[in-house]
Structure 1
């Protein structure tokens, strides 16, 4: 039996989960834009009736990081388009202005605009400094991919593999592009998460894989596994293009990606790429 304080927290958590799970079905709510957070969002999934949601008019749900736990299943299980873009608390930040503009365009027109990598990006551990964009193919060269977009934060989506909430089998009836971005996983954690997705079959049958810039510290020890080595160890030999260091996730600026949209991503080399999204092929 849990201690009294823990029991109170559990009851409060269940009440909060019930209120949050009710948001998508309330007709007066037209959009859901979480502030930040959501580390326990996985606990909401069993309380969502995805079959019922599939029959309701969809509404905008936008954000990134932990909210991927809700957005990817809403796309895969209920057929809702969900927008991987700024969270509410990101909107005032100067280094998120490009993502905010794409978010506004998506909300107004139903689709993000064509987007290219920005020339520089910023890092949380180096305020005031800008770094040259390095979006490229794993292994180098140029390439192109087309398919339906789905994805989000690797840290949380890796925990959904093998569940009905992250089953890409039906989604892959059309060509599909999976995108993922790392928040906190160390290189060995990235390797394990990606290798697990590969072993489970999640990475089979895709037309492309897109990885955002990692938000975690790379290994400092010269003998330790580094981030790029982790990617190669987990992903070498995949029969489709793998894009790395894309403008996605916890290292701004970021693209806005519409889960469920048909996307065409071309990578030209030397940090140059172009992403277009539309409703139909």
Structure 2
């Protein structure tokens, strides 16, 4: 299957906002409104869905309403991008209600975000052939000032097809997940020095190329073995240029993470890859030296791979994050001084 890239966004384009997973509770409506205002400042028209400004039992609305609204926006020719406010927990309820065959026959539009939105990114790319953006959520874009890493999402969304985009490792990252709190227009608190690392602890440089695919491991590991998570088929379809798998862990403790990664091994996900990118982990670390920790989990499940495995990359819930286009051809460069990802749209 060839990957189809949506056209670039231009002033006057319509962006739809719906929450197919968690909605936005009332106390965070000011942040949502700032994010919408920032879209409008860039010249975009914005349409809000009904499944957005409410939250009950971890979701914005019932699964039927969420699925219908998401499909409507994904197939509406007037809509040029769908930007949910963020992820959540229960997007998986929608998968059987979405028509990915119909979407394969529909002109693609940008679908943007991360976390639970990986539930949709993965099949949109592998089943429908859409290039999608795993990057900052809409709520991240409500800041008064964006850091350069977050700002780079617009380089992707507003560039012509065929453009080559190079993103570098951030200078610094925020130590915890973002909670927004009462600082409505705040950006990220970037206090910790960023350093991408090679899993073998020895290799000081690496370079590899392939088609990007991945997302939040908590989500995509649950899709493995189903029609919505057939990575081996994607690898087969892109065998000439190879595949780069990326993921990040948000909640899994080390032993659960180990089980998830070994499950993916048994599903063949780590066969015939060009490389692996792993984002900073947001899950609690284990301090007891007699217990399995995060790095133990990575080494025990991935340490014997014969391709580069980089971790603490700018991906996921510990911001900021680079914007990765699922399905795009990419080249990853890693050195002891940093790293970069170059993508062709």
Same fold (TM over 0.5): yes
Shift of 1:85: 0.7
Higher deviation after alignment, 94-103 or 222-231: 94-103
Shift of 1:120: 1.5
Q: 2:260 is matched with which residue?
A: 193
Pick aligned residue for 1:35 from 68, 77, 85: 85
Q: What is the DSSP-based 3-state SS (H/G/I as helix, E as strand, rest coil) of the residue aligned with 1:75?
A: helix
For structure 1, the residue ranges without an aligned partner over 5 or more in a row are: 1-8
CA distance 1:144–1:219, change in 2 (3 Å) = same
Q: 2:168 is matched with which residue?
A: 116
Q: What is the DSSP-based 3-state SS (H/G/I as helix, E as strand, rest coil) of the residue aligned with 2:169?
A: coil
Q: Is the 8 A contact 1:103 1:112 kept in 2?
A: no
Higher RCO structure, 1 or 2 (CA under 8 Å, sep 6+): 1
1:275 is aligned to 2:327: no
Q: Is the 8 A contact 2:277 2:310 kept in 1?
A: yes
Q: 2:288 is matched with which residue?
A: 221
1:136 is aligned to 2:203: no
Taking the aligned partners of 2:63 and 2:311, their CA distance within structure 1 comes to 37
CA distance 1:177–1:129, change in 2 (3 Å) = closer
Q: 1:161 is matched with which residue?
A: 224
Q: Is the 8 A contact 2:177 2:317 kept in 1?
A: no
Q: Is the 8 A contact 2:64 2:97 kept in 1?
A: no
Q: TM-score, with normalisation over the residues of structure 1?
A: 0.89
CA distance 1:61–1:99, change in 2 (3 Å) = farther
1:14 is aligned to 2:64: yes
Shift of 1:94: 6.8
Taking the aligned partners of 1:71 and 1:125, their CA distance within structure 2 comes to 21
Q: What is the DSSP-based 3-state SS (H/G/I as helix, E as strand, rest coil) of the residue aligned with 1:109?
A: coil
Alignment of 1:168-183 (within 5 A): 168-173=231-236, 174=238, 175-183=242-250
Higher helix share: 1
CA distance 1:129–1:12, change in 2 (3 Å) = closer
Higher deviation after alignment, 62-71 or 29-38: 29-38
Shift of 1:257: 0.4
Q: What is the DSSP-based 3-state SS (H/G/I as helix, E as strand, rest coil) of the residue aligned with 1:78?
A: coil
For structure 2, the residue ranges without an aligned partner over 5 or more in a row are: 1-58, 179-187
Taking the aligned partners of 2:218 and 2:145, their CA distance within structure 1 comes to 23
